[in-house]
Amino acid sequence: MNRVEGQVRGISRMVDEDKYCIDILTQVSAATKALETVALSLLSDHLSHCVAQASAEGGDFAAEKVREANEAIARLVRS
């Protein structure tokens, strides 16, 4: 997250300094990719821990965690 934060600050500085638009867009793309990496890592952790544990317990709680994970995946795919 610190890397992403630094990238976003850099983008803001580039805009303030009226840098070349294509260079700014390149940095926006890099920050977006970094955020996607964070999101996928969080999703992986959630599936490995929360969903796996809920599945082992079974019942409504397991179904809720699977639904929640499916919705998170759908949000990532849409973005």
> 39: part of which helix (H) or strand (E)?
helix 21-46
Mean pLDDT of 36-56: 93
Model confidence at 64, in pLDDT bands (50, 70, 90)?
very high
Mean pLDDT of 10-31: 97
Mean pLDDT of 45-72: 92
C-alpha distances (whole Å) from 69 to each of 36, 44, 76, 79 are 16, 10, 11, 16
Mean pLDDT of 55-76: 92
